[in-house]
Amino acid sequence: MWQNEPMRTATEFSKLKQAAKRHGTPLYVYDERIVTERYRELAAVISYPNLEIHFAVKANSNPRLLKLLKRLGADAETVSPGEIRLAKRAGFTSKQIAFTCANASAADLDAVIRAGGTVNADSLYQLEYFAKRLPKRRPLGVRINQGIAGGHHKHVMTGGPDSKFGIDPSQVRDAKRIAAKYGRKIDGVHQHIGSNVLDPPLFAKAMRALLGTARQFDELDYVDFGGGFGIPYRPGEPRLDIPKLGKLIDQTMADFVNEAGYQPRLAFEPGRYLVAEAGTLVVSVTDYKITPHKTFVGVDSGFNQLLRPAMYGSYHHIENASNPRGRAQKVTVAGNVCESGDVFAKDRPLAAPRIGDLLAIRTAGAYGETMASTYNARPLPKVAVIT
Ligand SMILES: Cc1ncc(COP(=O)(O)O)c(C=O)c1O
């Protein structure tokens, strides 16, 4: 199934239309049922006993979705003091919050120390900063770059030689020495190879690499493999094979437990997988322009509200919620930002769009609203949560 089928029924279109009528457009609509489905599906395929799913708040920090994920059993993964505040406001306790961030300022690091929770140092400098100041009862880990990257675009590949993230495995000895200098041990290892990875064996390969490094430490409290689980953006694109992923994860952890002789906590930090398909950006058609070269459909939103197409060239499926059975026309859907790169879809078939129609820009629940800006002095998009 490409996307949750009920999302694509007439009932769902009418929910989108009702929400747009009530709140106006541009409007992000999030469907809690899809978040619930994705969370349960992921949690169910991994049998390893000490599993923790840390939701990556950067993907979507809507308070209702954060509260929902907490109720479902998730912890929170954060990258700034602001995200920690949002997670706490949604009810996550300090213990349920982990922090990992490259190039954080001293003010950020101090705020993280005050806030509580697990900390993964991204550099030897950060490690020393935390080792010196973080209370010993607080878990302190280190992010490692094993040289393995994955993802839909080079901007989101976070492993490998050009990546700014983590320390090199060859620096493990230095990391241990720094921790020991302050009378503490390193509690965990962390990595995140990139985002929107659809290839289970690549996750297993990255896990094995990090677990190899984990063997250089005495007993670790946790191993954290980050996020990156991908979802299909295009109709017909195969889904990530979650049962296969679960089996590979269990097998890889079983091998580690067998060799290392202990069972660390296992953490993942999915963002996109849990929320992307739950989100639709509903926009209104504001203009229709035929040139000798193209037909442009203008809408009341732009890359200031959904950056992914302009930033990564990402595909987002678009449907005409007001006229779903209209005759398909090949159109370019463009936004209202004063830049020519402000295009949501190029030369795509779309059911006959008319001025005032509502278009549903799909799979916009991750890295949509959280990346929105007020560029061109436009307000941030409105938001509605449906169940
Ligand atoms: C450290 C870390 N963990 C988790 C994530 C979430 O990634 P995704 O949304 O692809 O699951 C990110 C994304 O950038 C990240 O940097």
Residue 129 pLDDT? 98
Looking at the structure, do residues 280 and 319 belong to the same domain, yes or no? yes
Kindly give the distance from the C-alpha atom of residue 242 to the centroid of ligand 1, in angstroms, as a whole number. 18
For ligand 1, atom 3, the nearest C-alpha belongs to 226
Residue 202 pLDDT? 95
Residue 138 maps to which CATH number?
3.20.20.10
Q: How many domains does one find in the chain?
A: 2
Residue 8 pLDDT? 62
Within a domain: 17: no
Q: What is the DSSP secondary-structure string of 267-313?
A: EE--SHHHHGGGEEEEEEEEEEEE-SS-EEEEES--TTT--HHHHH-
Q: Which residues line ligand 1 (CB under 6 A)?
A: 56, 59, 77, 100, 158, 192, 195-196, 226-229, 269-273, 366
Kindly give the distance from the C-alpha atom of residue 272 to the centroid of ligand 1, in angstroms, as a whole number. 8
Looking at the structure, do residues 253 and 283 belong to the same domain, yes or no? no
C-alpha distances out from residue 296 to 263, 275, 319, 333, Å: 57, 30, 15, 6
Looking at the structure, do residues 267 and 286 belong to the same domain, yes or no? no
Looking at the structure, do residues 323 and 254 belong to the same domain, yes or no? no
Looking at the structure, do residues 363 and 379 belong to the same domain, yes or no? yes
Looking at the structure, do residues 172 and 215 belong to the same domain, yes or no? yes
The answer to whether 280 and 29 have CB atoms below 8 angstroms apart is yes
Place of tokens 């919050």: 97
Kindly give the distance from the C-alpha atom of residue 336 to the centroid of ligand 1, in angstroms, as a whole number. 30
Domain boundary residue among 222, 248, 273?
273
Give the domain range for residue 236. 32-273
Residue 4 pLDDT? 46
The preferred substitution site among 269, 308, 311, 367 for testing ligand 1, maximizing ligand atoms within 8 Å of CB, is 269
* Identity of residue 73: G
Residue 2 pLDDT? 45
The preferred substitution site among 58, 199, 274, 308 for testing ligand 1, maximizing ligand atoms within 8 Å of CB, is 58
Looking at the structure, do residues 127 and 248 belong to the same domain, yes or no? yes
Nearest atom in ligand 1 to the alpha carbon of residue 197 is 10
Place of tokens 């990391």: 175
Looking at the structure, do residues 330 and 217 belong to the same domain, yes or no? no
Nearest to 294 by CA among 335, 342, 347, 334: 347
Domain boundary residue among 221, 249, 273?
273
Within a domain: 147: yes
The preferred substitution site among 53, 80, 192 for testing ligand 1, maximizing ligand atoms within 8 Å of CB, is 192
Q: Give catalytic residue positions.
A: 338
Kindly give the distance from the C-alpha atom of residue 377 to the centroid of ligand 1, in angstroms, as a whole number. 29
Domain boundary residue among 273, 298, 319?
273
For ligand 1, atom 12, the nearest C-alpha belongs to 227
pLDDT by residue for the chain (387 residues), tens digit each?
445 444 467 888 999 999 999 999 999 999 999 999 999 999 999 999 999 999 999 999 999 999 999 999 999 999 999 999 999 999 999 999 999 999 999 999 999 999 999 999 999 999 999 999 999 999 999 999 999 877 777 787 777 888 899 999 999 999 999 999 999 999 999 999 999 999 999 999 999 999 999 999 999 999 999 999 999 999 999 999 999 999 999 999 999 999 999 999 999 999 999 999 999 999 999 999 999 999 999 999 999 999 999 999 999 999 999 999 999 999 999 999 999 999 999 999 999 999 999 999 999 999 999 999 999 999 999 999 999
Kindly give the distance from the C-alpha atom of residue 33 to the centroid of ligand 1, in angstroms, as a whole number. 22
